[in-house]
Structure 1
Amino acid sequence: MNKYFEKLQPYLDKAMALQTARNLFEWDDQTLAPFEAADYTSKVVGILSDEYMKSLINDDVRKLLKKLQDEKEQEDLTDTQKAIIKELGKTYEQLESIPPEEYRAFNELASVSSRKWAKAKKDNKFDDFAPYLKQVIEYKKKFAGYRVKGDKKPYEVLLYDYEECFGIKELDTFFDKIKEDIIPLLKEVTKKAETIDKSYNYKNYDIQKQKEFCRFLSGYVGFDFNRGVIGESAHPFTMQLHNHDVRISDRYMEDNLESAMFSMIHESGHAIYEMNIDDSLTQTLVGTGASMGMHEAQSRFYENIIGRSTAFWEPIYEKLVETYPENLKDISLDHFIRGINKAAPSLIRTEADELSYPIHIIIRYEIEKMLFSEDVAVEDLPQIWNKKYQEYMGITPSDDTTGILQDTHWSWGEFGYFPSYAVGTAVASQIYAQMLEVMPIDEYLKQGNLTPIKEYLRDYIHKYGATKNTNQILKDVTGEEFNAEHYIKYLKDKYSRLYDL
């Protein structure tokens, strides 16, 4: 091993251990911890965050990093070590710019803020959450300001944290294409959506039976229960400690069958990605997904491209009917497939159909750009949100819970994350187009055999972790970098077929 990398390793190991501890507290906070624990646990999170920063931002690591970034020393590193040094360089640049006391204070705030959001959502009171959100935004503006360079905008700094291949220019181009091609299609499809009876979805569905069936679905698509667990939270999410400990959560509603099922498939897609990362990368800076765009590509691929297909449900639909015979005995597979693919403007992002989904992301993207480039008051956000939904969807939230409070991301300061959902959905379509060229996906699904699909994703995408970025992976797998045309074609083909357009 390179002598400088060997000296760096203990610092990397300590940082990894501290980050793992922080992740454990976050998992516990969102799933099992009592509400009143938040203010006290936040102090623990603050101390861990402070120690994490110190483990990396110090003179020893600075000198070793500079040495290992030297071209001559790079020749003596393995490909994995080079990727780790590249990732460390980005992490170091990000953390070094932030005063330690501010970094600690922000992490304490985020820990409290997320719980305040959960309660405000439950109580339908944005005003209770607004003071915390205001502080979070102030910190993120300050942190972005520390790092902005040249002609880049502060918001762009945050975007690159989640997807380094997409700045404002690339996203504006992508979203303009969505507006041009998909919004007219959504309007056309919506005219026919009323012909689809989906009332079965909103009957009473026993929560315990939902949990059992969702657990079955997770295992069916490839979640490994020897290396993962399922919890329950206000907002479904995935948390990885490493590729042998990946945790997902779900939310269950008695009067919505689809919600938990497709959230479970979605989070299982995230988990499968993490579980498939090669063991040689485990507990390193590159032992996670390439980016949030690529991560969302995996979850959206499983949730929508696979999970909403006829072939996927053919072997297992009868099991669902047997779970809820009174509600589904008269609902044919064809009726069910049309139901789970019904497209129409809606309020809730996580329950949106494939066609309207990117519009939800555009709304959040435009609001985030406003927050970081204009003088927008936090108190005005519900009104801005509602106005955007009326403009793009023709509908207006009746309350904060179904409006501005529906997502947890901003409570954690995750500004710049939302575009990853749309980018990831488009990336999934591009990968799917390539997979169709090399394997009979529908035949595998009809056989109830998802193993070849999981293995393909492992071998061509997952195992590399964060040693490649999104465009590098796409170029290697499909022969081209990001190309939104595959996404547009996928949506047009699917909904033209479903709605006989």
Structure 2
Amino acid sequence: MNKNYQNLVEKLEEISRLNGVLSTIAWDQEVMMPSGAAHARAKQIGVLSGVIHARMTDPFLGECLEQLQDQTEHFNAIEQCNIEEARRNYDLMTKIPRQLVQALAELGSHGHAVWVQARQENKFSDFAPVIKEFLKLKKEWAACAFPDMSAYDANIDLFERGTTTAEITVIFDQLKAALIPLIHRIEQHSYHPDTSFLQGHFPIERQAALARKISENIGFQFDKGRMDISVHPFCGGSHPTDVRITTRYNTHDFVESLYAIIHETGHALYEQGRMLEYSDLPVSESLTMGIHESQSLFWERMIAQSRVFCAHYFETICETFPSSLQRATVDTFYQAINACKPGFIRVEADELTYPLHIILRFEIEKGLFEGSIAVDDLPQVWNEKMATYLGIKPPTDTLGVLQDSHWSSGAFGYFPSYTLGAIYACQFFMTMQKALPDTDKNIEAGNFKPVKNWLNEKIHSQGRLYTPQELVLRVTGESLNPQHLINYLKTKYSALYKLDD
């Protein structure tokens, strides 16, 4: 092996393992850490982030990359990818002062604790200073990292590399134009599925057992992962052999936790399906958050909310909660879990209203960075957009502007990934159905291996060998196309609500 490349690999593996440690203590902060340890944990995360930054900006790493830059033709595609990704990260990190990296890390840890408290007490005014400080630091970061971009474009690039505010705006305007009238038409329609049997008393231990069973059936490997409880469901962990998913339970609603677990299992399958032989190198890492989100939504929406999936698990669900589902059938259960009802909480939203939750957040973030929206006005702006898009107004900030954890960690630019992921998911699913025509039969029989294997081959194991734009073109034969999602939603919900009757 080329000596410079060998040195590069050793440095990259060390950085990856340190990031694994950081991910583990961040997971612990949200799942197990005593609340009194918040200040100390913020300091620990800040210091470790500073150490990782020092490793990523080590002049020796720069020297290795300098020696390798004119020799890429001597390396295979995997090695070239590692070199190119390392060069991009090195160039990016050397532009960011260590003090700024530490400040962002500490604020993220501190901000999470402030958000949790503010959310519990319904006091946006307590959280507003965190958002203001993050905006200041994130603009400073953007000026260092991508001086030729707008500040918001720079932050979006962290999650959706190569995608701009302008491109997202075009896509989201297309979705708004199609979905808002459809939602309003459904709201005014005379027929609405019965969802009353989804309410009742559902013991948490039974919910947890059902979630674990379905997650394992789909393909989650519990010897390389675990399932826990957190305020906000997420997928974390330190390595493809240590993937951690969480949910939250409501004794009056088992659907929320079950589908949160299926969603996070989709993320986890991506992580567990990465190239193990290169697992500590950039080539193995997942692509953009939109591609990652496509995998969770693929399983949650395309698979688990299908009638064939409901048919397979209906008897199991009835046995798990025998007193609650006596009046239900497979068809009424399928209709109920897909019911369209505008609600306040994004993570509980149906797939038809969900994109509007994301568009609302995107437009607010864009306004915050451009200066057209003031932080102190966020609750009012939030509520006005909810009324315009979904016809409802949150009665509290806890059910409105304080519901998501993203801004508490400074993850501005992340929200668009959710709906971009839905578009990717729909496009991938339609392509897979053509490649695997027995998909519905397999799902109804509980055979998820062909689906998992197809995703693993086409997406998970590809790592960063291709850009997202190249990957979607290779897999589906066309560029990202929101019309597929629009057509899918119109067809599905027109049938569910008998709009053509």
Equivalent-residue separation in structure 2 for 1:454 and 1:193 (angstroms): 39
- In the alignment, which residue of structure 2 is the partner of 1:251? 248
**Contact map agreement 2:358 2:419 (CA 8 A) in 1:** yes
Equivalent-residue separation in structure 2 for 1:107 and 1:158 (angstroms): 15
Query: Which range is displaced more, 299-308 or 276-285?
Result: 276-285
Residue from 121, 124, 134 that aligns with 1:123:
121
**Contact map agreement 1:80 1:281 (CA 8 A) in 2:** no
Counterpart residue type for residue 22 of structure 1: L
Query: Which range is displaced more, 358-367 or 92-101?
Result: 92-101
Residue from 139, 142, 146 that aligns with 1:141:
139
- In the alignment, which residue of structure 1 is the partner of 2:157? 160
- In the alignment, which residue of structure 1 is the partner of 2:330? 333
Q: How far apart are 1:125 and its partner, in Å? A: 1.9
Query: Which range is displaced more, 118-127 or 287-296?
Result: 118-127
- In the alignment, which residue of structure 2 is the partner of 1:226? 223
1:80-479 paired onto structure 2 within 5 Å: 80-150=78-148, 152-192=149-189, 195-374=192-371, 376-439=373-436, 440-479=438-477
Q: How far apart are 1:194 and its partner, in Å? A: 6.0
Residue-by-residue CA offset, 1:386-408 (whole Å, 9 max, x unaligned)? 11111211111100111011111
Equivalent-residue separation in structure 1 for 2:31 and 2:8 (angstroms): 35
Equivalent-residue separation in structure 2 for 1:269 and 1:40 (angstroms): 33
Q: How far apart are 1:375 and its partner, in Å? A: 5.4
**Contact map agreement 1:273 1:295 (CA 8 A) in 2:** yes
Q: Secondary structure at the match of 2:282?
A: coil
Equivalent-residue separation in structure 1 for 2:197 and 2:125 (angstroms): 36
Query: Which range is displaced more, 131-140 or 236-245?
Result: 131-140
Counterpart residue type for residue 225 of structure 1: F
Q: Secondary structure at the match of 1:314?
A: helix
**Contact map agreement 2:244 2:268 (CA 8 A) in 1:** yes
Tell whether 2:11 aligns with 1:11. yes
Q: How far apart are 1:267 and its partner, in Å? A: 0.1
Equivalent-residue separation in structure 2 for 1:127 and 1:420 (angstroms): 28
Counterpart residue type for residue 441 of structure 1: T
Equivalent-residue separation in structure 2 for 1:91 and 1:392 (angstroms): 39
Query: Which range is displaced more, 486-495 or 409-418?
Result: 486-495
**Contact map agreement 2:192 2:497 (CA 8 A) in 1:** no
Query: Which range is displaced more, 481-490 or 256-265?
Result: 481-490
Equivalent-residue separation in structure 1 for 2:495 and 2:88 (angstroms): 45
Q: How far apart are 1:22 and its partner, in Å? A: 0.6
Equivalent-residue separation in structure 2 for 1:163 and 1:491 (angstroms): 24
Give the fraction of aligned pairs with identical amino acids, expressed as a percent. 36
Equivalent-residue separation in structure 1 for 2:170 and 2:373 (angstroms): 24
Counterpart residue type for residue 37 of structure 1: A
Q: Secondary structure at the match of 1:339?
A: helix
Aligned length: 498
- In the alignment, which residue of structure 2 is the partner of 1:63? 63
Residue-by-residue CA offset, 1:339-382 (whole Å, 9 max, x unaligned)? 11111222111111111111011000000001111154322211
For structure 2, list consecutive stretches of 5 or more residues without a partner in the other structure: none
Equivalent-residue separation in structure 1 for 2:204 and 2:310 (angstroms): 21
Equivalent-residue separation in structure 1 for 2:475 and 2:213 (angstroms): 31
Q: Secondary structure at the match of 1:246?
A: strand
- Aligned residues: CA RMSD: 1.4
Q: How far apart are 1:130 and its partner, in Å? A: 2.0
Counterpart residue type for residue 29 of structure 1: Q
- In the alignment, which residue of structure 2 is the partner of 1:495? 493
Q: Secondary structure at the match of 1:325?
A: coil
Residue-by-residue CA offset, 1:413-435 (whole Å, 9 max, x unaligned)? 11111000000000001011111
Report runs of 4+ in structure 1 exceeding 6 Å deviation. none
Q: How far apart are 1:490 and its partner, in Å? A: 1.1
Counterpart residue type for residue 28 of structure 1: D
Q: How far apart are 1:239 and its partner, in Å? A: 0.8
Q: How far apart are 1:456 and its partner, in Å? A: 0.4
Q: How far apart are 1:193 and its partner, in Å? A: 7.4
Equivalent-residue separation in structure 2 for 1:67 and 1:496 (angstroms): 60
Equivalent-residue separation in structure 2 for 1:309 and 1:4 (angstroms): 51
Counterpart residue type for residue 444 of structure 2: K
**Contact map agreement 1:113 1:132 (CA 8 A) in 2:** yes
TM (normalized to structure 2)? Answer: 0.97
Q: Secondary structure at the match of 1:368?
A: helix
